[in-house]
Structure 1
Amino acid sequence: MDSFMNLAKQGMQAYERSQSDVSRSGGHEYNSPNHTTSAQDRPQFDDDEVVNTASREGSGDTSLFSSALSFIKQNKSAHEEPIDEEGVQHAHRKAYEEGSAGSLSAGSLGSAAAMQVLKQFTSSGSSGGGSQSQLISLAMAEASKLFDSAGGASSGNKQDAVNGAAMTVMKLLVQSKFSSAIGGGNSGGLGGLMGLASKFM
C-alpha cells in the first residue's frame, strides 16, 4: 500500500539532487535539509483553460471550478500532506464499483473522481496526450458529475467535491515531482506520473 509514496519520495530525492547539482551556486535552499517544494516546482496552470474545460466537460458553471483553483492556491501547505491512499482507494471502490458515491463525504467523493480520471489516463496510454491542465480539469469535471449523479454526498457540498478532486490531483503532481516535467501536449512527464499513480491503484 505504501509503494506509491515510496516511489514518489525516491523521485523527489533524485529531483532534489539534480537541482542541487544544477543550482549549487544558486543558494542554500537546495542544499538545506529543510528544503520544501518551492514555487517553481509547482504546476502552473492556465486558469482560463482549466476552468473552461472543466465547465464544458462537467456539470456546473465556471465559478464552481474557478473557486476550486483558488482553493488549491490558497492551501499550498496541503499539497505536501500525505495522500490517504487507502482512503482514496476505498472511496473509488464505493463510488465506481459499488455505485454508492452518495454515502461518501464530498471530499472523498472528489478524491474518487480524481482517481477515476487517473485510471482513464493510464488505461488509454496517454503518455503524451494530455497536460497537467487537462488532468485537473477533467478531475474537477468528473467530481461535479459524480456529485450530481449520486444525488449529493453524505456531508459537504458540490464545491467541496470539486475542491477535493483538484487537491488530490495537485498532491499527486507536487509530491511525485513530475509536475516540472509536464509541459504541453507531448511531454513524457505525464506518462511518468501516470505510471507512478498506477502503482497504488
Structure 2
Amino acid sequence: MASEAGITQETALGRPMDSLGGIALGRPNRPEDVAELIASLVSDRASSIVGAEHVIDGGTHLPSDPPTTHRTVMPEQQPRTTAPQTLPATITRYLKAHRAHDTATAVTAFTDDATVTDDGRTYQGTSAIERWLSRSASEFTYTIDLTGAQQIDATHYIATHHLEGNFPGGSVDLRYQFTLRDTLIETLVIEV
C-alpha cells in the first residue's frame, strides 16, 4: 500500500496515529507496557479493589483530562455485611415480590428508566423489566433464599441468594447488586 501511495512504509504506518492527533508516547502501547498493571490487578494485592478504571492510551489524556469515554464503576468502598432485614424497603419489596412471582408489584420498585442486567443481557425501562420478570418467573421452577446482604454506601447494596430448581446446573448462588435513586431501584446487576 505504501509503494502504491509513493511513500515509505514508516510514513504509512504513522498516518493512522497522525489522524488521531498523535500519541504522547510516540507509539502504540506494547503488551509489556501494561503487563505489570495486569499482573498487579490479578494478584492478591488487588483484593481490596472493588472498582477502578485504568486509561491506557499512551499518554493521550493527562491526569487532569477526563477520558473521552466513561463507564460506571461501583464505589471503591468495601461492602459491609448487614442483616438482610435491614435492606431498604424498596429492595425488600422487590425481593419479596420476585420470590412470589408477583411481577406487578416487583416492577413498582424500579425507576422508569431503570436497567437490569441478568445472564449477560440488559433490560432498560420498566416495560422491558416487566417482560424479563414475567419470562424468568415462568421459564424455570425454582426456590430462592436470601443468604446474605451487604451495604456499600447509602445507595449501593448487594443481596446474595441461593437458587435451586430445574434450570441448567440445578443450583447457584447469585449476587443481586442494587443501585438506588430516589428510594427506587435504578440499576440491578445479577451475577454469579
**How high is the TM-score relative to the length of structure 1?**
0.24
**How high is the TM-score relative to the length of structure 2?**
0.25
Greater strand proportion: 2
Greater helix proportion: 1
Higher gyration radius (CA):
2
Higher relative contact order (CA 8 A, sep 6+): 1
